[in-house]
């Protein structure tokens, strides 16, 4: 049958053009990773063919031996990476090579700075795969045919890595993909057999299928023409996780991680586990990345582990093994406890999945425990990247909530910076002798938390308060009310009294003093309520203020202001929560409000100013900022 070439010139998606430019100009310091990325793509193509062939063996087309071939032509200045994996159809070529379907791409691109080193780091987070070919090539040609399609449905894709590419139909007898790199003048040192072999050994030794290169004598190493030589295997082709643990070096662990994850940086830590015997045989190799991906907070993005059954790749990103709060975890699971024809639907109900999930969660928490105890500097790095994700754990995993809570870290009033390095266990070890609660404050920022008037009585009595200033914190404490039998208590809620902690006051005398003050200020409280009306739920004397005139608090079970603002910002309807205004009877401003002169003059204006200052102090927004400024200016002028 004759082939209708149907040649088209198409434009790259805008994001691809931007990414190509960045790849070429940012990955200058590690150019050899282009080969690792192309080999990884070929390995993925072989895995996909194996999986699809489980239900349709005809896709092998009488060629079940999956391989990767690497060759170069010094005269033509080309390097060729070829595989007999799943291949691509015309539509798949356009989708995979002409567009970037990753969610968050625009946000990723917006974070790029123009600084080549910083951008290289970000590109490593994003993963560029095929596009890394343009680091060393000024033109790339791809010939491919999807397994199962007739030979006339081959596709040729070609681009110089600028704004467009060409695509046409070609006759291709064998399935799979062939990538031909036309090497730039300045990168001709890659046209060397020993250089290519060393890259394969370094990055791709444990790709689980043979990587073949022409068999060469030493004297012929610089001018290889593949047709003239026999092929020989240059990698081990043994899955890393199948080797005995004592035979795997740290460097091999790191390179295997980079190969399957397409990450450019070393992992932070890893855990290898082999369980044999019983009814749940499995091997797991789990990694903690050293940096967060750009789309970490996209909860709809697929995450999870690579699943192998009896060494056969089954599927990517199996979410059933990893809860959302561990979505940063990367790795593989290889088990005999599942059938080879397992699907995502079967995984939902298979009894082995529940056991594997529990075992993998335990193994991950063990890894984090070990890292926190033995390598606190590394754990601090992990926390800066993934701490807020881990905080989702107590609300999602009731069984492991105490274990997860021990891994959490927070800022504290006992620190001089916003460094989050205080654990619940550390806090409990420093509690006052009679202290029964763990005190915390939630604010939008560290500075807002640190300078909050709600902390004044705690500063006075040197009682530690945890400073929660991440967006997720109020959600977290709503799902984690106690630790080690000690209730978590917001310093912004309830009518705090610290008598049982300080222990140096005569409670009876203090109560009498409070009653006397309350009676004295009863008329003032009444006038304040008349002015503020339904803006507040109540007005009362404060036990938590020592230097500020007033603050806003909420009832013990009310939603906090930070969570209320967060929900409103995403368009969620929230029932109005009226705060309680607490005043400090010892403050001069309160004394002024209580004076006859102010009550007969600007009492209403001073009262509104007092309330508005309290709103600002807790990080809230005024309904009428202009009126606040006018009021403040007027009162200043009256005092001059």
**Pairing outcome for strands 466-468 and 437-442:** parallel
What pLDDT, on the 0 to 100 scale, is given for residue 333?
Answer: 93
Task: Give the model confidence (pLDDT) of 299-336 as tens digits.
Answer: 677 788 988 888 777 888 888 899 999 999 999 999 98
Task: Say if residues 147 and 49 touch (Cβ distance below 8 Å).
Answer: yes
For residue 588, report the phi and psi dihedrals to the nearest 5 degrees: -65, -30
In the three-class reduction of DSSP (H, G, I as helix; E, B as strand; rest coil), residue 5 is classed as coil
In the three-class reduction of DSSP (H, G, I as helix; E, B as strand; rest coil), residue 197 is classed as helix
Q: How far apart (Å, rounded) are the C-alpha atoms in residues 142 and 150?
A: 18
For residue 112, CA distances in Å to 107, 138, 444, 520 come to: 9, 24, 26, 62
What pLDDT, on the 0 to 100 scale, is given for residue 348?
Answer: 79
Phi-psi region of 494 (alpha: psi -120 to 50; beta: other; left: phi over 0): left
Number of residues assigned to the chain: 640
Phi-psi region of 501 (alpha: psi -120 to 50; beta: other; left: phi over 0): alpha
* Token pair listed for 509: 């005398």
For domain 8-232, the CATH class is alpha beta
pTM for this predicted structure: 0.76
Return the number of other C-beta atoms located less than 10 Å from residue 355's C-beta. Answer: 16
In the three-class reduction of DSSP (H, G, I as helix; E, B as strand; rest coil), residue 284 is classed as strand
Sign of the CA dihedral 487, 490, 495, 496? positive
What pLDDT, on the 0 to 100 scale, is given for residue 136?
Answer: 93
For residue 351, CA distances in Å to 75, 96, 109, 282, 358 come to: 58, 36, 42, 14, 11
Which stretches of the chain drop beneath a pLDDT of 70?
1-5, 15, 22-29, 99-128, 216-229, 299, 499-510, 596-601, 640
Q: Who contacts 37 (Cβ-Cβ below 8 Å, separation ≥6)?
A: 128, 129, 130, 132, 133, 262
Architecture of domain 245-383 in this structure: 2-Layer Sandwich (3.30)
What pLDDT, on the 0 to 100 scale, is given for residue 274?
Answer: 93
Domain map (residue ranges) of the chain: 8-232, 245-383, 501-639
Task: Say if residues 542 and 494 touch (Cβ distance below 8 Å).
Answer: no
For domain 501-639, the CATH class is mainly alpha
From the CA atom positions of the chain, what is the Rg in Å? 32
Q: Which one-letter DSSP state was computed for residue 422?
A: B
Task: Give the model confidence (pLDDT) of 591-629 as tens digits.
Answer: 888 876 566 668 888 899 999 999 998 888 888 999 999
Q: How far apart (Å, rounded) are the C-alpha atoms in residues 327 and 570?
A: 23
Q: How far apart (Å, rounded) are the C-alpha atoms in residues 302 and 300?
A: 6
Question: Exposure string (b/e) for 57-77, b if CB count within 10 Å is 16 or more?
Answer: eebbbeeeebbbbbbbbeeeb
* Token pair listed for 409: 């870290």
* Token pair listed for 471: 């967006």
Number of H helices, E strands in the chain: 23, 22
Q: How far apart (Å, rounded) are the C-alpha atoms in residues 398 and 478?
A: 13
Q: How far apart (Å, rounded) are the C-alpha atoms in residues 191 and 193?
A: 7
* Token pair listed for 605: 């204006």
Task: Say if residues 477 and 488 touch (Cβ distance below 8 Å).
Answer: yes
**Pairing outcome for strands 580-583 and 538-541:** parallel
What pLDDT, on the 0 to 100 scale, is given for residue 112?
Answer: 57
What pLDDT, on the 0 to 100 scale, is given for residue 413?
Answer: 96
- Give how far the C-alpha of residue 224 lies from the chain's centroid of Cα atoms, to the nearest Å: 45
Helices (H), 481-542: 499-502, 507-532
């Amino acid at each position: 049958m004759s082939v209708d070439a149907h040649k088209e010139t198409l434009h790259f998606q805008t994001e691809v053009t931007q990414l190509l430019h960045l790849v070429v100009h940012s990955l200058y310091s590690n150019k050899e990773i282009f080969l690792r990325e192309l080999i990884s793509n070929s390995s993925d193509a072989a895995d996909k063919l194996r999986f699809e062939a489980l239900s349709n063996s005809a896709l092998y087309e009488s060629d079940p031996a999956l391989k990767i071939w690497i060759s170069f032509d010094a005269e033509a200045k080309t390097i060729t990476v070829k595989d007999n994996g799943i291949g691509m159809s015309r539509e798949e070529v356009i989708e995979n090579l002409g567009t970037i379907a990753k969610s968050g791409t625009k946000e990723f691109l917006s974070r790029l700075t123009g600084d080549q080193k910083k951008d290289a780091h970000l590109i490593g987070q994003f993963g560029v795969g095929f596009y890394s070919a343009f680091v060393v090539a000024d033109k790339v040609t791809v010939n491919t045919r999807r397994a199962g399609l007739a030979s006339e449905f081959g596709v040729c894709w070609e681009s110089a890595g600028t704004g467009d590419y060409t695509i046409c139909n070609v006759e291709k007898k064998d399935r799979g993909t062939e990538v031909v790199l036309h090497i730039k003048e300045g990168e001709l040192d890659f046209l060397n057999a020993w250089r290519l072999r060393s890259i394969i050994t370094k990055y791709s030794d444990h790709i689980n299928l043979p990587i073949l290169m022409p068999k060469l004598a030493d004297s012929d190493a610089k001018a290889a023409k593949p047709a003239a030589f026999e092929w020989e295997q240059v990698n081990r082709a043994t899955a890393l996780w199948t080797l005995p643990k004592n035979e795997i070096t740290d460097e091999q662990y790191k390179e295997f991680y980079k190969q399957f994850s397409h990450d450019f940086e070393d992992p932070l830590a890893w855990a290898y586990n082999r369980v044999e015997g019983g009814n749940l045989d499995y091997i797991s190799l789990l990694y903690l990345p050293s940096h967060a991906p750009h789309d970490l907070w996209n909860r709809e993005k697929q995450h999870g582990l690579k699943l192998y059954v009896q060494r056969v790749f089954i599927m990517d990103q199996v979410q059933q093994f990893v809860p959302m709060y561990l979505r940063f975890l990367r790795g593989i699971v290889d088990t005999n406890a599942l059938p080879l024809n397992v699907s995502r639907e079967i995984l939902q109900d298979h009894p082995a999945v529940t056991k594997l999930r529990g075992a993998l969660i335990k193994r991950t928490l063990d890894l984090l425990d070990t890292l926190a105890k033995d390598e606190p500097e590394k754990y601090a790095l992990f926390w800066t990247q993934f701490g807020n994700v881990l905080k989702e754990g107590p609300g999602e995993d009731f069984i492991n909530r105490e274990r997860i809570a021990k891994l959490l870290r927070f800022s504290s009033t006992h620190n001089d910076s916003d460094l989050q390095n205080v654990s619940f266990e550390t806090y409990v070890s420093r509690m006052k002798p009679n202290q029964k609660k763990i005190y915390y404050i939630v604010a939008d920022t560290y500075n807002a938390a640190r300078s909050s008037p709600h902390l004044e009585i705690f500063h006075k009595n040197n009682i530690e308060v945890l400073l929660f200033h991440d967006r997720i914190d109020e959600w977290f404490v709503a799902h984690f009310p106690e630790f080690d039998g000690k209730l978590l208590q917001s310093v912004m809620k309830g009518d705090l009294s610290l008598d049982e902690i300080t222990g140096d006051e005569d409670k009876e005398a203090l109560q009498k003093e409070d009653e006397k003050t309350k009676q004295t200020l009863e008329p003032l409280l009444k006038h304040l309520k008349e002015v503020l009306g339904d803006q507040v739920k109540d007005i009362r004397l404060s036990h938590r203020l020592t230097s500020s005139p007033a603050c806003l608090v909420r009832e013990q079970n009310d939603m906090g202001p930070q969570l209320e603002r967060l929900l409103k910002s995403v368009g969620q309807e929230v029932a109005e929560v009226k705060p309680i205004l607490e005043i400090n009877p010892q403050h001069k401003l309160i004394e002024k409000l209580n004076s006859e002169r102010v009550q007969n003059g600007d009492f209403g204006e001073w009262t509104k100013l007092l309330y508005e200052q309290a709103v600002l102090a807790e990080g809230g927004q005024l309904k009428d900022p202009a009126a606040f400024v006018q009021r403040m200016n007027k009162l200043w002028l009256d005092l001059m």
